[in-house]
Every structure is written in structure tokens, then in C-alpha cells.
Amino acid sequence: MKDKYIDATVVMGTYNGELFLKKQIESILSQTLIPKEILVVDDGSTDNTRKILKEYAKNTDIEFRLIFRKKNIGYIKNFIDGINRSRYDLIFLSDQDDEWLPKKVEYTVGFFDRVPDCVVLHSNTNIIDSQGCIISKNAQKYIKSKKISMTTLLKKVNYPGMALALRKSAIISKLNQWCLDNIELPTHDWTICFLGVINNGFYITDEVLTLRRFTGNNVALKLERPLLLSGTENRINGIVLYEKYYNLVNDVQNKYNTYYINIQGYLQNAKLRKTYLGNYSFHLWQKNFRNILYYPSIKSYFTDGILISKWKK
């Protein structure tokens, strides 16, 4: 059965995840191709998470490494530390409460083989509830497999890490340098995608490989829920979220004297959007059509206008 195992590491981040942890681990161990290493970085769990992990570590044939932290360091640093500790170049990131479809690893390995310049791959997902029932299909709205450009990356910020696979050797040097230089990272997953674009090798695939569980407590899923017409305050909060990613690009370009894109255009447009939304200024909104290229989408521009009209005092 040697051909059933692949030189790859699963880096799993855990924190008080006892409820669905077993299902996630079982879905990894049930893959048609199984990674030789599961590295779990636990960020100070106080429930039964560590007990569950120890049981699996004793009863699995593959390398099952456990890192138990005494103090919580936050999910960004937790995952980056896990990536650094991995023994294999091919890495799959994993949360504690999702489920992998049986051919996730096999498909991903095949993709990297077919597309030699791919260094980061993000796959499509379906969202499931606590009972495992699908509540949203094609959550990423991917239509086909393709390489992502810097412009496209900046127009979409939700690339959840649980659907990421990467080549450690391609991104780890810059990732560690940014951490040493105190570059503020908004999230670990979008940062990895950014590094993939810098290396001209960030791809997406429309293939659904992971079931992402919505428990009601998922911070990332809450941030990604559609804002629609729920008020200018929520809209502004969404713009602030995008600004964090723009600032990462801006900091990297300034710090290392490099250039990837006119990030100032995106930052200035975000500032203008917050101004006209905060002041309910229909005139400023109309005038800002000239900056349409810096919006996440044309739809987002017109939704701003609708919000101003609806909530104007």
C-alpha cells in the first residue's frame, strides 16, 4: 500500500474544536492518497481537543505531530508556525471543523503535476451546516480553473485557508522575512495567495474538494457573508476589511522597493467610498465613477449608490 501515501503535510490549526475534529481527521485519513504527515498546531485549547488529538497520534501509522501551545498566539501566527515546521514541501492547510472529499489530495497532486508553475492552489467549496447538510454550493463561485492575476486578487479577499494547498519552498522565504520585518498580515491565507501571485503561480480550480462547515462561530464566514443592503455602516466595515489587504500590498511594495500594481488607486478609492457613504453624498458617489477600476466589481459601485439613496437622511 506504499502508493497510497504521498510526500505531503497537512498543517491543521486547532482551538477548542472538539465538536467536529474527529470528522475532519477521519476525512483526511480516508483520502485516496494520504499525506505522510499531519502536523497539528493547537493554540491553547481548554476543551477535549488535545485528548482527541493524542488518541489519533497513538493509533495512526502516518506521522502525527502535535504542537501544544501554553499561550494563545492567534490563528495567523499559529498557521505560519505550522508551515515552517512541516517536513514536506507540499502542504495542505486544514481547519478543525470541515470535511475533505475523498479525492481532495489526489486531485490536488494531479493539478500540481499538470501545471508545473502552480505554487498555490485554491479550490472551490460547498458550505455545510452542523449536521453535514449542504446549505450552499459553489461557495467560491469559481467557473473554471485559471491563474489569478494581481488585479483579480485585489478584487476578492475571501480565499479561506482550509481550501489552500501550496509549495512551501516557493513562499516560505518571503513569508518569514515579512514576519521578521513586522509587516502586518491581515490573514495567513490571503497572504499566501498574494505570495502565489508574486511568484506568478496562484491558481484556482472550480473543483469542489472541501466541505466548509458553518457553525455560527466561524469568524471568517461571518466576514464573508453578503452585506447587501444592510446599511452604510456595514458597507463601510466591508471596505475597511479590503483596506487591510491593500495595506499589505502597499507595505510590501514600500518596504522592499518593488512594484506589483498601483495600490494607491485602491487605497484612495476606499477612502472616497467611506467618505460618500458616511456622508450619504450622492454627488460624490456619482463623481467617483471615474475610479470604477478600483472597485471589487461594477455591482459594488452601484450597490453603494442604492445604499446612499435608501439610507439618506
Q: Is the pLDDT of residue 196 over 50?
A: yes
State whether CATH 3.90.550.10 applies to domain 2-222: yes
Residue 227 confidence (pLDDT): 42
pTM of the predicted protein model: 0.93
Q: Give the three cell numbers for residue 165.
A: 494547498
Instruction: Map out the domains of the chain as residue ranges.
Output: 2-222, 226-311
Residue 77 confidence (pLDDT): 96
Angle at which helices 75-85 and 168-180 cross, to 10°: 130
- Neighbour-count burial for 88-119, b at 16+ CB within 10 Å, e otherwise: bebbbbbbbbbbbbeebbebbbebbeeeeebb
Dump the DSSP string for 10-70. EEEEESS-TTTHHHHHHHHHT-SSEEEEEEEEE----SSHHHHHHHHHHH-SSEEEEEE-S
Q: Band of the pLDDT at 2, cuts 50, 70, 90? A: low
Q: What are 39's strand-pairing partners?
A: 11, 65
Q: Band of the pLDDT at 44, cuts 50, 70, 90? A: very high
Which residue in 198, 199, 187, 247 sits closest to 223, CA to CA? 187
What does the alpha-carbon distance between residue 191 and residue 207 come to, in Å, rounded to a whole number? 22
Q: Is the pLDDT of residue 217 over 70?
A: no
Strand locations in the chain (E): 5-14, 34-42, 63-68, 90-94, 99-100, 120-128, 134-136, 146-147, 164-167, 202-213
Among 3-7, 120-124, 181-185, the least confident range: 3-7
Quick check: 145 and 205 in contact, CB under 8 A?
A: yes
Q: How far from 41 is each of 14, 97, 134, 275, CA to CA, in Å?
A: 6, 14, 28, 42
Across residues 285-290, what is the average pLDDT? 97
Quick check: 200 and 140 in contact, CB under 8 A?
A: no
Quick check: 90 and 107 in contact, CB under 8 A?
A: no
Q: Which has more confidence, 2 or 263?
A: 263
Q: Band of the pLDDT at 8, cuts 50, 70, 90? A: very high
Which strand (E) or helix (H) includes residue 137? none
Residue 245 confidence (pLDDT): 98
Residue 312 confidence (pLDDT): 62
What is the share, in percent, of the chain residues with pLDDT greater than 70? 94
What does the alpha-carbon distance between residue 26 and residue 276 come to, in Å, rounded to a whole number? 50
Residue 215 confidence (pLDDT): 80
Residue 220 confidence (pLDDT): 53
Q: Is the pLDDT of residue 1 over 70?
A: no
Strand, coil or helix: 91: strand
Angle at which helices 263-278 and 232-255 cross, to 10°: 160
Q: What is the pLDDT of residues 94-149, one digit of tens each?
A: 999 999 999 999 999 999 999 999 999 999 999 999 999 999 999 999 999 999 99
